[in-house]
A and B are shown apart, each in its own frame.
Chain A
Amino acid sequence: MPDLEELYREIILDHYRSPRNRGELESPPAHRVEGFNPLCGDEVVVTMVVEGDALSDIKIGGTGCSISQSSASLMSAAVKGRPLSEVRHLIATFKGMMSIHESALGDGDGDGASAPRANGLSPGPETVSGEPEPIDPAELGELAALQGVVKFPVRIKCATLSWNALAKGLGELEASAG
């Protein structure tokens, strides 16, 4: 089942089975944000600490499918300890990858059978419209493993759940600081 293997890559299954930065930081002082996917009932709790200009700590709580859980775990590993500017850039880059649609699908793999399922794909509310981020796989590192998700449109919301929560939290912190 090549489609499934593309979705459920080994890195994803590894992060699903052994999630990194799992749990909840005490809030306060940590900032706490909840995210819900009303379609499947998945819930994510992101607790984060910003010190100076860096995201010094982050933990992920909640329940969800392999895609939402592994994406959250990969995210936490990628952003922990990083400067806020880099975190924001990574969020935009990741969400850019998740909003790739028709034109990018099918490239390279020559798998004609997968094309019809892409045709009905609507970008949905997750799309970062107007400002396409050039995607550099090297920059995404392990996160690039989640690229297969874009072939499964209904799962994009699973992959972006924790990222949206993180973005919301950073926005709230910025607003309260400003």
Chain B
Amino acid sequence: MSPEPIDVETVRKDFPLLARTVHDRPIVYLDSAATSLTPHSVIAATERYYETTHANVHRGVYATAEEATRLYEGARTKVGRFIGAPHPGREIVFTKNTTESLNLLAHSWGRTNLGPGDVVVLTEMEHHANIVPWLMLAEERQIELRYLPVDGAGRLDLSDLDRMVDGAALVSVSAMSNVLGTINPLTTIAEAAHRAGALVIADGAQSVPHLQVDVAALGIDFLAFSAHKMLGPTGIGVLWGRAELLEEMPPFLGGGGMILDVRTDRYLAAEPPQRFEAGTPPIAEAVGLSAAVDYLSAVGMDRVRAHEIELTRYAFDALQARLGSRCKVFGPPGGEDRGGVLSLAVGEIHAHDLAQVLDQFGVCVRPGHHCAKPLMRKLGVAATARASFALYNDSSDVDVLIEGLLEAGRLFG
């Protein structure tokens, strides 16, 4: 049974930025894969924290310090439950963003467990955040990187999966592509990786904000994601890791908050997650993230997902009807195995020119390589114009997008 549809008109009232105009036109925000808009409740929670509670965490014994600590740790628990973490209090590490979460893993787990000749398996559709940390480790440790290929439809080609993961120590894959929208079969990949004795990292930057993620059901070992793509504030990201794995990992950054004891010649690291949270953490941002999780939970991730599937289908149909073969959308066709991320090309028009024309219509899309240059080379394009959806978008946004694309076609045709 399909969930009750989202009332987009009501949802839109919760996002103050949608009230503004751009070039005297209502803003049409189609760049949520880059960063999502922020609802009133998140802004209000952050403001309320600064106005009534602000204090450093895990230090003071005065009332506001205890309240701040309770809010911060409460956010940890809430975020953990949101992704089905078995032990939220021990398994959720707050970082700066997805990129830092992945770098933490490369530095801490990677440097401890990987040496010359060890194999890390990535995919051809990874964001630079899940390539460069491993390339850096490869330079330092002479590890071998293998890439699961992307097929013509923009899906992973897993026909050779068992051979690709054979002998690997780690498999690190995007849960959902930020260019193609492809939702990857994490469970299948995790099962093959575990059979081969490898651990599995999922880059959840695009999946956690848009579909129900349950780390236990997926059978993965680590998950990285960012608050600012899931209606939360910038400056805070999340690393989830299985407790027994985090416990075996050495610290990433050193400083206050991550130690049990320090002497002039040695230190004793704290238990996870504090071990990985050196210095004053993003407290207000954690409070904001907590409010963002509340917002998404109140709407329901099943409804968010259903809404975005329907909107993506509408976009595919409308693009086909209005632009026909002049418009190409990279990645799988609208359906259950893709999210609301549409990388577009219109004829030979460069993505920058498309985005420039769209801007005049108030339409915000992202032109460029989307921090996935290996994938762009594979697709044979330098850049695409990417439109991406969230729960506050509806078919009228798609209609304005198409109006702009048609104008670009006229101008450059």
Contact = CB atoms under 8 A, between A and B. Distances in A.
Contacts of B407: 1
Nearest to B376: A41
A138 B40 CA distance: 54
Nearest to B384: A41
Contact of A41 (B360, B382, B412): B382
B368 interface: yes
A40 B352 contact: yes
A155 B359 CA distance: 13
Interface string A152-177: 10010010000000000000000000
A63 B382 contact: yes
A68 to B, nearest CB: 8
A161 B383 CA distance: 16
A45 interface: no
Contact count band on B: 10 to 19
A65 B373 contact: no
B177 to A, nearest CB: 17
Interface residues of A, number: 22
B350 A64 contact: yes
A33 to B, nearest CB: 18
Contacts of A63: 382
Contact of A158 (B352, B357, B369, B412): B352
Contact of B350 (A1, A13, A66, A113): A66
Contact of A4 (B24, B360, B376, B383): B360
B353 interface: yes
A3 B383 CA distance: 24
B411 interface: yes
Nearest to A114: B23
A67 B412 CA distance: 12
Which of B373, B376, B383, B407 lies at the interface centre, i.e. has the most chain A CB atoms within 10 A of its CB? B383
A82 to B, nearest CB: 29
Contact of A66 (B353, B373, B376, B383): B353
B351 interface: yes
Contact of B382 (A7, A64, A113, A155): A64
Contacts of B350: 64-66, 69
A56 B121 CA distance: 50
B353 A40 contact: no
A24 interface: no
B356 A7 contact: yes
Interface in B313-368: 350-353, 356-357, 360, 367-368
Contacts of A113: 23-24
B411 A43 contact: no
Contacts of A40: 351-352, 367-369, 382-383
A43 B368 CA distance: 12
A39 interface: yes
A41 B353 contact: no
A3 B359 CA distance: 11
Nearest to B373: A41
Which of B351, B352, B382, B407 lies at the interface centre, i.e. has the most chain A CB atoms within 10 A of its CB? B352
A154 to B, nearest CB: 8
Contact of B352 (A1, A13, A65): A65
Interface string B24-37: 10000000000000
Interface in A75-114: 113
B24 A152 contact: no
B220 to A, nearest CB: 31
Given A66-B350, A66-B353, A41 B411 contact: no
Contacts of A4: 356-357, 360, 411
Contacts of A8: 353, 411-412
A64 B381 CA distance: 10
Contacts of B367: 40
A85 B342 CA distance: 48
A34 interface: no
A158 B24 CA distance: 26
A43 B360 CA distance: 26
A39 B368 contact: yes
Interface in B12-54: 23-24
Nearest to B22: A117
A67 B360 contact: no
A42 interface: yes
B351 A65 contact: yes
Contacts of A39: 368
Contact of B369 (A13, A41, A69): A41
Contacts of B24: 113
B360 A13 contact: no
Interface in A7-52: 7-8, 13, 16, 39-43
Given A40-B368, A41-B382, A42-B382, A3 B352 contact: no
Contacts of B356: 4, 7, 152, 155
17 contacts: A3-B23, A4-B411, A13-B411, A39-B368, A40-B352, A40-B368, A41-B373, A41-B383, A42-B352, A65-B350, A65-B351, A65-B352, A66-B352, A66-B353, A69-B350, A113-B24, A155-B352
The 5 A-B residue pairs whose C-beta atoms are closest, nearest first, are A65-B350, A65-B352, A41-B369, A41-B382, A40-B368
